[in-house]
Amino acid sequence: MSYDKAAVQAVLDQALAEGRSALSAPEAKLVADAYGIPTPGEGLSTTADGAAALAAEIGFPVVLKIVSPDILHKTDAGGVVVGVTDEAAAREAFGQIVANAKNYQADAEITGVQVQKMLQRGPDVQEVIVGAITDQTFGKLVAFGLGGVLVEVLKDVTFRLAPTSPGEAASMVEGISAHEMLNGVRGSKPVDKPAIARIITALSDLVSDFPQFAEVDLNPVLAGPDGATAVDVRIIVDPTAGVPVERFTQEEILTAMTRIMKPRAVAVIGASNEDGKIGNSVMKNLVNGGYQGDIYPINPKGGEVLGLKAFPSITDVPGDVDVAVFAVPAKFVAGALEQCGQKGVAGAILIPSGFAETGEQALQDEVLAVARKHNVRILGPNIYGYYYLPEKLCATFCTPYDVQGSVALSSQSGGIGMAILGFSRSSRMGVSAIVGVGNKADIDEDDLLTFFEADDNTNLIAMHLEDLKDGRAFAETASRVSKKKPVVVLKAGRTDLGARAASSHTGALAGNDKVYDDILRQSGVVRAPGLNDMLQYARGIPLLPTPQGENVVIITGAGGSGVLLSDACVDNGLHLMGMPADLDEAFKKFIPPFGASGNPVDITGGEPPSTYRNTIALGLQDDRIHALILGYWHTIVTPPMVFAELVADVVAEYRAKGISKPVVASLSGDVEVEEASQYLYERGVVAYPYTTETPVAVLGAKYRWARNAGLVGTQGT
């Protein structure tokens, strides 16, 4: 669609020149008209007689609203009169509105009174809100939800990054909890949802083209069967909202991160021979971990550290250095970093605390300024370090780790980082990297994503984060990476600790976690509700083949497990296949008469191993079934390890034939089910003892990624 950008620029220039923080109602209408956003017929009057004449020209009934740059919330000031039906009433309403405005704020500048055609409401018309905000993390966002008085009561709103594609706009209309109201309820007609989507798209283009529009409210938008019209348009102006964020290019990020993750030489600033010192622990991990590059201890006293020659300064090192690991107090970091810059170091790993996390923001800013001057990238400060196992690199003061695999993990918290380490060791999950990001003075999650995207040693990225320094950069990077590799995120701080200060309804509704939830989903990220979920997703998703369709079948030895597994499927967005008659008959051939076919397929608990084998084989060989969930009940007839061995065997048999489907299992029973679950996991079947929820959650996470990546077919086919 073509827009009249020149008209909008003229309005914006005038508002900025006058130092105003908001557009007037007539100006807002001009902007809406320029971007094809429908509004009611209206005009501005400065006299009661003029308002009456204008109302007659527009056609009754009309609404009168105060126009003042000093009064943003017109209703609060008594500045709105609705249902005006004749000229006399228009004159009276004009006087009433002006008087109310002066009583509300005596020094308010009154431009005039807006006379607007009053649109008819009825059972076929729904009030919705379309808005835009400038979020401190993600930048320009558009929002959609129920409007009018319901918007603040229900807070049923969804967000997307702007600019928003027509497809994303349509998904927003379907994305609110109450979207069925738009389809017509109790005999009302469906509203024109494409018309709403067009308004969303136009508004997202507007705030992208003119970022100085910090907040925009179209509330209410009256949506009916034949279109949608923005009754009220409120636009907040802020010249700082258009300031672009400085970013490194993808090439710059990848070059620096490659040197950091695959260094040829590492220096340890503050290396020590004294047990218990961080500089000693880092040195031991580098030396004992098997790192094959050069290691340069840096200590003012020189000598040797762990048998390696120590240098008083990094500038004394004869060779090139890619990474410097800092193990000195915070107050010495800036000076040592200056020397690292002179040496041409690519990355500074700042383990020390005592920066912004303790209120020393100025010290952190000083360190970052030194880094920027010399083009040194900073990881941290306030971190445990990092591991990159393909290089046998253990640049941390924590316990070493050497179980290599394809999962890369990062954490903003040191404690969470150690939980990641312990879980990985306990569950025998191989990792490619574990990285602490701490205060994120510089290197952020999008830098890590850029490296892991190109890293052949990494097939899944899982991240714990409390915030994002540049959420838009992360979202854009994650959108690209998640098409190739699953990205799992545990976002801490899900609770709403209070409404943000904002000048618009949209801004007030932009609760921190709701924005994160919607934008992470838009970016193709699989969000984990808790730490254990993130770790289980990281462990299980890479083992599961990508499903080729949405049809899931449950085969269980216990009816109770079947019910719980079915509930878990609903909770995780999985489609339980409707059982075709011929397939139903095929299953009945293998189960006892007192069992139950359908979905779940209940083979009952007393069946021998052959019943499990035959029904699982049938589920694997039928092309209409795309994933299997197994519910096992511990019996002496089919002991846990017998079950595990037969499942692993039949799954391997069909994979050898080229039939590879996701299979997950829930094992209920005595302690032997723990060993059986681990046996299955090691053979590509995601299995858990004592839980029906976790295996289904992992399968659901795999499906969410596959859908976002465009790798799975249409639901129910």
- Look-up: residue for tokens 């599961």? 544
pLDDT per residue over 51-80, tens digit each? 999 999 999 999 999 999 888 788 899 999
Chain centre to alpha carbon of residue 573? 18
13 CB neighbour count, 10 Å cutoff: 11
Give me the chain's average pLDDT, please: 93
Split at pLDDT 50, 70, 90, the class of 511 is low
Distance, CA of 182 to CA of 172 (rounded, Å) = 12
Distances (CA, A) of 241 to 133, 207, 213: 10, 10, 7
Residue 502 has pLDDT above 70, yes or no: no
Alpha helices in 250-388 (DSSP H): 250-261, 278-288, 333-343, 361-374
Residue 406 has pLDDT above 70, yes or no: yes
pLDDT of 509: 54
DSSP secondary structure code for residue 311 in this structure: B
Residue 463 has pLDDT above 50, yes or no: yes
Residue 403 has pLDDT above 80, yes or no: yes
Distance, CA of 340 to CA of 680 (rounded, Å) = 49
The whole-model pTM stands at: 0.90
Split at pLDDT 50, 70, 90, the class of 510 is low
pLDDT of 695: 98
Q: Which of 121, 100, 119, 118 shows the shortest CA–CA distance to 110?
A: 100
Split at pLDDT 50, 70, 90, the class of 716 is very low
